[in-house]
């Protein structure tokens, strides 16, 4: 039996999305610019390289492309340390290259979403240069500054995500400045209305250049407790902790209620430009509650995503069922549905899913099942570049590492570099057709063998399977924007039902590495797609069925 099949004779219901915003149920493709396509041979991807490959992205059947930071930056955290919010770093090109990218994307029917980083800047940003110069300059309170304790130690016990205290001493002001991440990423004082105004002005700059949305990086880190109260210790749970950050509950260093008011200002600005999509990255112990708070009603963000799947050590029916049960889409007692979630299994910060969730020998079957699951979820779905090829986590030596978090916490923190290695375009090219020079990170032979050109030539490849699933999701209103019900979850199998506009689509998936009988009453509809050898009685390892139920 073929590794997957699609019922080409099933009637496809055309989704009437005319009354819904374009992003409702959208499939979004994330591009990490450094590693996608290099147009000038310097070993680092760039905006012109992305533009040259937009046809490939459009052919997947996604609705939008999300581009990770390309702004002026000293690259201490590879672009998330922004030195100028309104310009392109020379590594990636110039503003004209960005304008060309937007024009080409729109010509192909793709929306363009870009990152906005509002919690911190680079220590090379002009704002910080001025702020640190004295305690009485116009931007003196644009960042989080505090006096030391009497003994000269930091003002409180807050810890950086990347390790060590969240405070660095600055001799210019004889004060500490806060940084939730690297010391090169000083924390903005977003409580200050002038700081909010400056950030919104930067957003407007890109809206005027035609962007269609923003992904808001680490948004719940944007405000701190002004009283600088100590965080309480994390409860004793027996878990091994590899970072000092993990020894605390982050009650005061992040996730402050004022974030919601700032969100209202972001939404009001975006509404001036029509159907602009806003999605927040939300991590931490209270992520679910914050996701809902940030997306409630019509005056906040359109969507948010947490880390439910991104760092999960295993993909289990319980994980899927518990996560999806919180976002069913049904109206509550007030007659309103909860906000609109977004889901990702992989991104530039998280290990590749096939390396986390299955044995190496099962990667092909697992990747197919995983993508069918992603296509079946309620909310927006985000594919990270190379996920459609089944790329695995590349292993790098310490000498090859670029990731500051991994270098700081070696060898206990898995390097983010392993998910950032270059995109393999051509199997027979030394560097996968990514660059004509020496790539900034090496590409493994295993991922080179999964190159896009090789999969393009194979109708049974994961690349073609991805296109099939995205076409089905776009064609069926139940999959695109319907409600979700978990109808079955046991040790191996999870089944989801999506409903909208009079149709019901059911996904039944075996998440286990062993065969199981098809649960009674499931998989009885007209088959839209199947993978792993699933049939009317049996679900082999990592098999799945997508069916359109009658009536």
- 430 lies in a domain? yes
Q: Classify residue 143 by its DSSP letter.
A: B
**Which of residues 222 and 331 earns the better pLDDT score?**
222
Q: How many other C-beta atoms are found inside a 10 Å radius of the C-beta of residue 535?
A: 14
> Is 142 within a domain?
no
The C-alpha torsion from 478 through 480 and 482 to 486, rounded to 10°, is: 80
The total number of structural domains in the chain stands at 1
Q: Cα dihedral angle (51, 306, 511, 386), rounded to 10 degrees?
A: 20
Long-range CB contacts (< 8 A, 24+ apart) of 92-96? 92/33, 92/44, 92/45, 92/46, 92/47, 93/46, 93/47, 93/48, 95/209
Which pLDDT score is estimated for 5? 41
Give, as one character, the DSSP assignment of residue 234.
P
Residue 544 has pLDDT above 90, yes or no: yes
Return the DSSP state at 444. -
The predicted structure's pLDDT at residue 380? 97
In the predicted model, what is the mean pLDDT of the chain?
A: 93
The CATH number assigned to the domain holding 466 equals: 3.20.20.80
Q: Is the pLDDT of residue 15 over 80?
A: no
Name the residue among 106, 25, 76 with its Cα closest to residue 374. 25
Mean pLDDT of 302-326: 94
Compare 203 and 6 and report the one with higher pLDDT: 203
State the residue range of the domain holding 439.
22-120+192-472
Residue 225 tokens, joined:
């407790």
Q: Is residue 350 included in any domain, yes or no?
A: yes
Half-sphere exposure of 433 (CA within 13 A, CB side): 15
Chain Cα centroid distance, residue 182: 20
Is the pLDDT confidence value at 52 over 90? yes
Alpha helices in 351-461 (DSSP H): 353-357, 363-376, 404-409, 445-448, 452-456
Predicted TM-score (pTM) above 0.75: yes
127: alpha, beta or left? (left if phi > 0; alpha if psi -120 to 50): alpha
C-alpha–C-alpha distance, residues 370 and 323, integer Å: 15
CB-based contact 409:243 (threshold 8 Å): yes
Looking at residue 243, its pLDDT comes to: 87
In the prediction, which pLDDT does 434 show?
98
pLDDT computed for residue 336 by the predictor: 46
In degrees, rounded to 5, the angle at the alpha carbon of residue 49 between the alpha carbons of residues 117 and 450 is 100
**Token pair for 483:** 């409600």
Which residue did the predictor score with more confidence, 238 or 317?
Answer: 317
Dihedral (Cα; 415, 32, 190, 222), 10-degree rounding:
-40
Beta strands in 118-235 (DSSP E): 145-146, 167-170, 175-178, 213-217
CA atoms within 13 A on the CB side of 509: 26
Residue 323 belongs to what H/E stretch? helix 317-325
Residue 104 is predicted with a pLDDT of 98
Q: CA separation (Å) from 156 to 148, 250, 266? A: 9, 12, 31
pLDDT at 550: 78
398 pLDDT band (50/70/90 cuts)?
confident
pLDDT band for position 551 (50/70/90)?
Answer: low
Q: State residue 6's pLDDT score.
A: 40
CA–CA distance, 103 with 435 (Å, rounded to integer)? 24
CA angle centred on 40, ends 35 and 46, rounded to 5°: 40
CA angle 115, 119, 123 (to 5 degrees): 100
Whether residue 15 lies inside any domain: the answer is no
Q: Mean pLDDT across the stretch 465-483?
A: 97
Q: Answer whether residue 10 is part of any domain.
A: no
* More confident position, 236 or 268: 268
Q: How large is the average pLDDT for residues 152-157? A: 98
Residue % of the chain over a pLDDT of 70: 95
The burial class, CB within 10 Å (0-12 / 13-18 / 19+), for 376 is buried
Structure confidence at residue 59 (pLDDT): 98
pLDDT band at 331 (very low <50, low <70, confident <90, very high): low
Q: Which residue has the higher pLDDT, 185 or 405?
A: 185
Helix H, strand E, coil C: the string for 144-163 is CEECCCCCCCCCCCCECCCC
Euclidean distance between CA atoms 92 and 39, whole angstroms: 10
Token duo for residue 347:
């991104």
Specify the range with the lowest mean pLDDT, choosing from 96-105, 270-279, 391-400: 391-400
Q: Is residue 524 part of a domain?
A: no
In a domain? residue 543:
no
- Tell me what percent of the chain is helix, strand and coil, each rounded to the nearest 5: 30, 20, 55
DSSP SS3 for 106: helix
Q: Does the structure show a pLDDT above 60 at 3?
A: no
Average pLDDT over residues 435-442: 96
SS3 (DSSP) at 166? coil
Give the model's pLDDT for residue 329.
79
Report if residue 72 sits inside a domain: yes
Average pLDDT over every residue of 41-61: 98
pLDDT band at 330 (very low <50, low <70, confident <90, very high): low
Q: What confidence score (pLDDT) does residue 259 get? A: 96
What is the Cα–Cα distance from 381 to 368, expressed in whole angstroms? 16
Neighbours of 65 (CB within 10 A): 24
* Dihedral sign from CA coordinates of 8, 11, 16, 17: negative
pLDDT category at 132 given cuts 50, 70, 90 is: very high
Residue 176 CA to residue 179 CA, distance in Å, equals 10
| Residue 328 confidence (pLDDT) | 81
pLDDT tens column, 448-470: 999 999 999 999 999 999 999 99
pLDDT category, 248, cuts 50, 70, 90?
very high
Pairing of strands 277-281, 167-170: unpaired
CB 44 within 8 A of CB 422: no
The mean pLDDT of 84-110, rounded to a whole number, is 98
Provide the annotated active-site residues: 217, 272
């Amino acid at each position: 039996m073929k590794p997957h099949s699609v019922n080409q004779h099933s009637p496809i219901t055309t989704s009437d999305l005319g009354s819904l915003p374009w992003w409702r149920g959208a499939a979004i493709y994330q591009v990490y610019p450094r590693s996608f396509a290099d147009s000038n041979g310097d070993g680092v991807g760039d905006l012109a390289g992305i533009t040259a490959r937009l046809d490939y992205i459009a052919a997947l059947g996604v609705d939008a492309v999300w581009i990770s930071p390309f702004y002026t930056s000293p690259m201490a955290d590879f672009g998330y340390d922004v030195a100028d919010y309104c310009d392109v770093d020379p590594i990636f090109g110039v503003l004209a290259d960005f304008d060309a990218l937007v024009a080409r994307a729109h010509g192909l029917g793709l929306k363009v979403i870009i990152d906005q980083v509002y919690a911190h800047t680079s220590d090379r940003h002009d704002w910080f240069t001025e702020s640190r110069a004295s305690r009485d300059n116009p931007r003196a309170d644009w960042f989080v500054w505090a006096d030391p304790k009497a003994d000269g130690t930091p003002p409180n016990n807050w810890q950086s995500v990347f390790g060590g205290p969240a405070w660095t001493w600055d001799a210019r002001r004889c004060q500490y400045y806060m940084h939730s991440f690297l010391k090169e990423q000083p924390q903005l004082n977003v409580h200050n209305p002038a700081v909010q105004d400056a950030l919104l002005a930067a957003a407007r700059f890109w809206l005027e250049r035609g962007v269609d949305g923003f992904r808001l990086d680490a948004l719940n880190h944007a405000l701190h407790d002004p009283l600088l109260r100590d965080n309480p210790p994390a409860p004793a749970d027996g878990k091994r902790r590899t970072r000092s950050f993990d020894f605390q509950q982050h009650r005061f260093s992040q996730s402050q209620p004022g974030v919601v008011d700032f969100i209202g200002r972001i939404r009001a600005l975006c509404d001036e430009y029509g159907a602009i999509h806003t999605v927040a990255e939300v991590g931490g112990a209270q992520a679910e509650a914050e996701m809902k708070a940030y997306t409630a009603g019509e005056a906040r963000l359109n969507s948010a995503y947490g880390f439910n799947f991104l760092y999960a050590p295993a993909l289990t029916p319980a994980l899927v069922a518990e996560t999806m049960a919180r976002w069913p889409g049904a109206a509550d007692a007030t007659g309103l549905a909860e906000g609109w979630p977004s889901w990702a299994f992989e991104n530039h910060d998280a290990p590749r899913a096939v390396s986390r969730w299955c044995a190496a020998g099962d990667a092909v079957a697992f990747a197919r099942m995983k993508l069918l699951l992603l296509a079946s979820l309620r909310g927006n779905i985000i594919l990270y570049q190379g996920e459609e090829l089944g790329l695995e986590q590349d292993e790098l030596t310490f000498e090859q590492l670029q990731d500051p978090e991994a270098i700081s916490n070696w060898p206990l923190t898995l390097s983010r570099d392993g998910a950032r290695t270059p995109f393999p375009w051509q199997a027979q090219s030394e560097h996968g057709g990514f660059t004509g020079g020496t790539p900034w990170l090496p590409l493994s032979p295993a991922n080179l063998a999964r190159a896009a050109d090789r999969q393009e030539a194979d109708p049974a490849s994961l690349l073609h399977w991805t296109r099939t699933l995205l076409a089905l999701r776009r064609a069926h209103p139940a999959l695109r924007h319907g409600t979700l019900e978990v109808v079955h979850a046991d040790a191996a199998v999870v089944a989801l039902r999506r409903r909208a506009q009079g149709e019901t689509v059911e996904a039944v998936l075996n998440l286990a590495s062993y065969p199981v009988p098809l649960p009674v009453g499931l998989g009885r509809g007209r088959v839209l797609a199947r993978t792993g050898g699933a049939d009317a009685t049996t679900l082999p390892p990592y098999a799945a069925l997508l069916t359109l139920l009658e009536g």
